[in-house]
Structure 1
Amino acid sequence: MWQSESLSPRALRTVIRQQKGGIRNTSGIAAGYQQANVVILHKSLADDFEAFCGANNSPLPLLYRSQCGEWSCPPLATGSDIRDDCPEYCVFENGVLVKKVPSLSSYTPQLQDMVTFYLGCSFGFEKALKAAGVPVRNVEQGKNVSMYKTTVPCNKAGRFYCPMVVSMRPVPQHKLETATQCTHAIPLAHGGPVHIGDPKLVGIHDLSQPDYGDPVEVCPGDVPVFWACGVTGVEAVQSCKSSLAFTHSPGCMFLTDQKAETVSPVALEPAECPLTFCISQNPQHYSMASKRAVQQIQAIEELVVEDPGARGIRALFVQDELLKACLSLSHSSSVLITTGLPTHYMHNPPEETDGPPGAIAMAAMLQALGKEVVIVADERALAMNRHIIRDAVEKGVIKTAVPVISFQSKGPESALHFLCRDGDPTKPRFDHLVAIERSGRAADGNYYNMRGINIKHLVDPIDDLFTTASVIPGITTTGIGDGGNELGMGKVQAAVKAHMPNGSLIACNVAADFAITTGVSNWGGYAVACALYVLNLCPIHRRYLQRGLGLPPTPEQQSIWTACLPTVTKEEDVLRILVKYGIRSGKTANLGLEVDGLTFHPYHSDMVRRLRDLTL
């Protein structure tokens, strides 16, 4: 009885070729060696398929393209013969799988006019996972890996187009970072994960029903982790409907003689090491960024929590809320922003200059990143906010006008119908809500300014949107505040009550998923814009955001994003617009270039410059 663990890949190919040993699939054998997916096409399709691999190199990392009619694979394996060296092959006619066979020798005449593509396989990184202490459940359970078709479209090239296929390995939650770092270092075995968390987010509805391979049991505490899969090539072959084509049978790979870690070694610099963060539990969703980007955003977060007004804001601070909120915003497609704290109840309008500038700064960057953005404001201030946005567009502060709408509660289902199409919680209109310096409902149902004055008569119940969003899967919320009475700051309610003046009375009772604490709320808006910029220039985050597909940002894209960052000139222009409409400084009620009692020069202008320096 032979032991696969003790045999070299060449010896294992001999066993396979002789059809001995009952090798059903190659999962868990030839550990540490690169395995290869195989696609064999007529020579007339070869250039198109090579272009398709280049456009989708995470699922289809090209190891070798053969010459026409070449059976061997000299760079990858000695003495190989692709007609017999996989345990099983698929035969396709006009894009339809007609049979599976143990050998292609009977097709030798047709193969004379065909080209073989050898593509990287995730089996190649399984030894690295095990060596790092990450259990490989499919190997433990003696099963082929689970593979699924997703709703993620590959980039089209010539006659080839198809959805991406992914493989899934359950990973213990505390080992996620180890798993991502191990696999990122081996890009020709597909590299790092393209999705971590709820399979429905990539169109997979039942993990127990894989499209290819075997169902692998997810153990308690495991998180589903998905890697791009070379079986995408099988889907591509079906899409082109060639009169005759061959592939390996999924899981029945070609074994190369090359160590996986030497095929495409990537020495990750410590600063480029991927870090993993949970950004949602409903649905479960993780995101990634490089250590460099994370540290840059942490520095931005530390900067904006400075407290020039000596209000004791640091007591409310929770680290990495800016990072997690911006990771979530980066994955979003439609964002609802709200602002407005009518602290000056004796003036008309009662609003303050803190909030709108930060909201506009966030909206500008979100628009540049391709997100749909809507602002919801109090009905009584609707016209004024629309005029502010119009003037901001005219001044070039923001490129495109943001729709400004209102929300009125007309019953218990009002918020649900506002947030979701037809009131259906499976069809949310927005996937992220952001409140910045927005009046927040206290425990007694009233709304208070920092002096403890009830301003409920000036505030629409936009809090209802946040409380309703908390039970709708797929909607995440962020609150930005500088005192604890703002919408979303209910997440740090205990700290507000303990440390802020009038805290027991004014503390907002409505929590957001993420609560960003800043010295001035506008600074939080600027920080979000800067952090989004950093994330979208981070190669680790961009790759994960695009599911391993797509290209790095073009110089033109980066130029557009840079132009949307806050500048001293733009922020001064916004303040002038607010003063034009009679909006006053929060602490002093001065009608001038001042926010929270701090003049724009030097306080706020200096903050904008320092943020840009950290970001750029």
Structure 2
Amino acid sequence: MSLTLHLKSCPPSVIRGLILQKKPNIRNMSGMAGAAGQRPAGVVLLHRSLAPDFEKFCQANRGPLPLLGKSEPGRWALPALGTVPDTRVDRPRFHKYEFGACTGSLASLEEHAEQLKDMVTFFLGCRWSLEGALEKAGLPRRDPAGHGHMAAYKTTVPCITVAGFCCPLVVTMRPVPKDKLEKLVQAICSMEGEQGQPIHIGDPELLGIKDLSQPDFGEPEVCQPGDVPVFWPSHLTSLEAVSGCKAPLAFTSAPGCTVMTDLKDMEAPAGCLTPEKIPEVHCISQDPLHYSITSASAVRKIRELETIIAVDPGNRGIGHLLCKDELLKASLSLSHAHSVLITTGFPTHFNHEPPEETDGPPGALALAAFLQALEKGVSMVVDQRALSLFKTLVEEAVEQGVLKAQIPVLTYPAGSAGAARTFLCGDGGPRAPRFDHLVAIERAGRAADGNYYNARKVNIKHLVDPIDNLFLEAQKIPGISSTGVGDGGNELGMGKVKEAVKSHIRNGDVIACDVEADFAVIAGVSNWGGYALACALYILNSCEVHARSLRKAAGPSRAAGEESWTQALPSISKEETMLGILVRHKIRSGVSGNVGMEVDGLPFHDTHAQMIQKLLDVTTVRL
């Protein structure tokens, strides 16, 4: 039977009861739901001098530590605090910490009554509706009796540091059949709002968890064939925070033990699942297994971008190459990446110097500019013969405001059998690669016979370094993904659609690139694919659902750099400037061979400027 205490009208002896009685009304609530309107809470008691910083720490890490309320020093409880009678009174209910070390498990804090007079009690919300959401999604309950304590794991993900509070995130895990993932995520978010959203789906090692059978708290649960591990932030992060602050004396409720309260989140209540916040789950990698989460609204906008760039002004038949959601999956993968390597350069004008064309570099630098705004590492790799040219292009792009800062321009020194792996991984080896995503935008791609062909079947191998080797090697290294952007099928990465290229593209049986990328973005002009990737990244990072998964529920709800993101988007003026830089260096249009303000024979102002504006119109409409 539940009892609700209205503590303002209660004598001090009743208020102190929760903390001091030898059989406190704190019980194992893992997997259980409270009565209507009630929320379970974990308890943390700290000296009053630490209370302001701990409150700020909770506010900065609201995902794992949603603050329901706090007491005045010595009060030890809050108004409208309900309790559930304990049925397992022999189990300790509190942990005692001294200078960061857990020195005891206690059934009562009665012997510390004097110290408690100078301590503040914090009540931290615990997720309790997972099992209800599982039922709603048609999944069996993990523990029908409610006696088990869900497994929880320390991660290598750092929480936001506040003063002396610095600790890693702690997460709980539940295996979910992969065909039920999205249904479960939507069900729990509909019940708990953003607090119900997982922070990671897939390989636990991406969180620094080595062995799911060895949880740091609770009871392990084995993933069955077809299951995917799903992770949520846990209030047990508070135990790590208390340990890390090394306070002379502190107390917490024991793992799996909570009180039931009638309190709401004092920072922000769980919002309803509005249409723009309905989460979707998309697999972006099989090795390691990794799913990303974003909102249905963001997905719709990125799909619109994909449709816009798929027009075929050259009547090449690229509609036959299109695969749905390649732009979405590529941008999701890039959004999770830390260091990106971009390559471009298609020397189709083999009788001129330089032989490059105006399609490729603008799209590559537009993407680089936005990756810079997201504070990701960005480098470019080009042909050795074109190194000086591209360094100059980058320098002038910075001078003219197309790029915010310089990016390294590299070459690939092919030679030994292990050259590609050495280039990608450096001294770190395959478990710590230098780059975790490769992007090729209008980059000459190797055909099945080992040669490189322009659209007219002219072999240009003598002008092309085998940068394809990097994409081939990346397929063997877990954690490196790749994207190819093309408009004709002979570009690096288009091996993913080579059969369609052979069947539907003029000269496709000869020119088709044989090297695959994980994601193949098809555009009427390859520059448009680079612009669309930058726009898609803006949409994703402006989406609260996706941004929460990126930051693992730690930190503010929206990144502070959103204004700089808008400035970093492609624009008509910046792309006109970039094309002007190429023209000054005698780089020619890919179809006509003209030196002028055109790409693939299409004039900038009548075609490309209109395309950029269409992409921006979709991108900058608020979610």
TM-score bracket, shorter-length normalisation: over 0.9
Q: Name the counterpart of 2:10.
A: none
Q: Bigger shift: 53-62 or 580-589?
A: 580-589
SS in 1 for 2:50: helix
Q: Name the counterpart of 1:572.
A: 576
Deviation at 1:159, TM superposition (A): 2.4
Is 1:297 aligned to residue 326 of structure 2? no
1:338-376 CA-to-partner distances (Å, cap 9, x unmatched) read 001111122222111110010010000001110111110
Q: Name the counterpart of 1:431.
A: 436
User: Is the Cα contact below 8 Å between 1:272 and 1:291 reproduced in 2?
Assistant: yes
Specify whether residues 259 and 132 from structure 1 end up closer, same or farther in structure 2 by C-alpha distance, changes over 3 A only.
farther
Q: Name the counterpart of 1:76.
A: 81
Is 1:145 aligned to residue 150 of structure 2? yes
1:523-561 CA-to-partner distances (Å, cap 9, x unmatched) read 000101111111111111111101101114466x22211
Distance in 1, matches of 2:22 and 2:567, equals 64
- Equivalence map 1:392-471=2 (5 Å): 392-422=397-427, 424-471=429-476
Q: Name the counterpart of 2:9.
A: none
Q: Name the counterpart of 1:25.
A: 28
User: Is the Cα contact below 8 Å between 1:358 and 1:523 reproduced in 2?
Assistant: yes
Is 1:490 aligned to residue 495 of structure 2? yes
Q: Bigger shift: 126-135 or 299-308?
A: 126-135
Distance in 1, matches of 2:153 and 2:53, equals 24
Distance in 2, matches of 1:107 and 1:270, equals 50
User: Is the Cα contact below 8 Å between 1:9 and 1:257 reproduced in 2?
Assistant: no
Deviation at 1:138, TM superposition (A): 5.5
User: Is the Cα contact below 8 Å between 2:40 and 2:258 reproduced in 1?
Assistant: yes
Q: Name the counterpart of 1:3.
A: none
SS in 2 for 1:353: coil
Is 1:116 aligned to residue 141 of structure 2? no
- Equivalence map 1:230-249=2 (5 Å): 230-249=235-254
Deviation at 1:223, TM superposition (A): 0.9
User: Is the Cα contact below 8 Å between 1:58 and 1:187 reproduced in 2?
Assistant: no
Is 1:599 aligned to residue 588 of structure 2? no
Identity over aligned residues, as a percent?
A: 54
Q: Name the counterpart of 1:133.
A: 138
Q: Name the counterpart of 1:155.
A: 160
Deviation at 1:75, TM superposition (A): 2.4
Distance in 1, matches of 2:122 and 2:619, equals 43
Aligned partner letter, 1:61: P
Distance in 1, matches of 2:139 and 2:27, equals 24
Specify whether residues 264 and 126 from structure 1 end up closer, same or farther in structure 2 by C-alpha distance, changes over 3 A only.
farther
Deviation at 1:19, TM superposition (A): 6.0
1:106-125 CA-to-partner distances (Å, cap 9, x unmatched) read 33333233221111112344
Give 1:609's match in structure 2, choosing from 589, 613, 621: 613
User: Is the Cα contact below 8 Å between 1:567 and 1:608 reproduced in 2?
Assistant: yes
Q: Name the counterpart of 2:593.
A: 589
SS in 2 for 1:376: strand
Distance in 2, matches of 1:273 and 1:9, equals 36
SS in 1 for 2:128: helix
SS in 1 for 2:82: coil
Distance in 1, matches of 2:143 and 2:407, equals 49
SS in 1 for 2:514: coil
Specify whether residues 559 and 593 from structure 1 end up closer, same or farther in structure 2 by C-alpha distance, changes over 3 A only.
same
SS in 1 for 2:332: helix
Is 1:192 aligned to residue 197 of structure 2? yes
1:169-194 CA-to-partner distances (Å, cap 9, x unmatched) read 11111222122223334558943111
Give 1:57's match in structure 2, choosing from 56, 59, 62: 62
For structure 2, the residue ranges without an aligned partner over 5 or more in a row are 6-16
Length-normalised TM-score, structure 1: 0.92
Specify whether residues 38 and 303 from structure 1 end up closer, same or farther in structure 2 by C-alpha distance, changes over 3 A only.
same
SS in 1 for 2:114: helix
Deviation at 1:141, TM superposition (A): 9.9
Distance in 2, matches of 1:234 and 1:554, equals 27
Specify whether residues 106 and 80 from structure 1 end up closer, same or farther in structure 2 by C-alpha distance, changes over 3 A only.
farther
- Equivalence map 1:125-524=2 (5 Å): 125-137=130-142, 143-185=148-190, 190-256=195-261, 264-422=269-427, 424-524=429-529
Distance in 2, matches of 1:554 and 1:303, equals 28
Specify whether residues 399 and 452 from structure 1 end up closer, same or farther in structure 2 by C-alpha distance, changes over 3 A only.
same
Deviation at 1:259, TM superposition (A): 10
Deviation at 1:9, TM superposition (A): 7.5
Q: Name the counterpart of 2:11.
A: none
Distance in 2, matches of 1:46 and 1:591, equals 67
Q: Name the counterpart of 2:562.
A: 558
Specify whether residues 340 and 61 from structure 1 end up closer, same or farther in structure 2 by C-alpha distance, changes over 3 A only.
same
SS in 1 for 2:40: strand
Specify whether residues 20 and 115 from structure 1 end up closer, same or farther in structure 2 by C-alpha distance, changes over 3 A only.
closer
1:89-146 CA-to-partner distances (Å, cap 9, x unmatched) read 1111222111112222333333233221111112344323323324443558963211
Specify whether residues 430 and 310 from structure 1 end up closer, same or farther in structure 2 by C-alpha distance, changes over 3 A only.
same
SS in 1 for 2:359: coil
SS in 2 for 1:610: helix
Q: Bigger shift: 462-471 or 416-425?
A: 416-425
Specify whether residues 303 and 139 from structure 1 end up closer, same or farther in structure 2 by C-alpha distance, changes over 3 A only.
same
Distance in 2, matches of 1:526 and 1:487, equals 18
Give 2:547's match in structure 1, choosing from 542, 560, 574: 542
User: Is the Cα contact below 8 Å between 1:61 and 1:189 reproduced in 2?
Assistant: no
User: Is the Cα contact below 8 Å between 1:138 and 1:169 reproduced in 2?
Assistant: no
Deviation at 1:160, TM superposition (A): 1.6
User: Is the Cα contact below 8 Å between 2:301 and 2:618 reproduced in 1?
Assistant: yes
SS in 2 for 1:137: coil
Specify whether residues 351 and 140 from structure 1 end up closer, same or farther in structure 2 by C-alpha distance, changes over 3 A only.
farther
- How many residue pairs match? The answer is 602
Aligned partner letter, 1:514: F
Distance in 1, matches of 2:436 and 2:78, equals 48
Aligned partner letter, 1:377: V
Aligned partner letter, 1:92: Y
User: Is the Cα contact below 8 Å between 2:185 and 2:279 reproduced in 1?
Assistant: yes
Specify whether residues 528 and 459 from structure 1 end up closer, same or farther in structure 2 by C-alpha distance, changes over 3 A only.
same
Specify whether residues 456 and 301 from structure 1 end up closer, same or farther in structure 2 by C-alpha distance, changes over 3 A only.
same
Is 1:103 aligned to residue 118 of structure 2? no
Aligned residues: CA RMSD: 2.7
Distance in 1, matches of 2:83 and 2:217, equals 29
Distance in 2, matches of 1:425 and 1:363, equals 24
User: Is the Cα contact below 8 Å between 1:72 and 1:80 reproduced in 2?
Assistant: no
User: Is the Cα contact below 8 Å between 1:482 and 1:517 reproduced in 2?
Assistant: yes
SS in 1 for 2:313: coil
Deviation at 1:450, TM superposition (A): 1.1
User: Is the Cα contact below 8 Å between 1:144 and 1:214 reproduced in 2?
Assistant: yes
Distance in 1, matches of 2:68 and 2:146, equals 29
Aligned partner letter, 2:587: I
Specify whether residues 508 and 136 from structure 1 end up closer, same or farther in structure 2 by C-alpha distance, changes over 3 A only.
farther
User: Is the Cα contact below 8 Å between 2:83 and 2:259 reproduced in 1?
Assistant: no
Specify whether residues 599 and 95 from structure 1 end up closer, same or farther in structure 2 by C-alpha distance, changes over 3 A only.
same
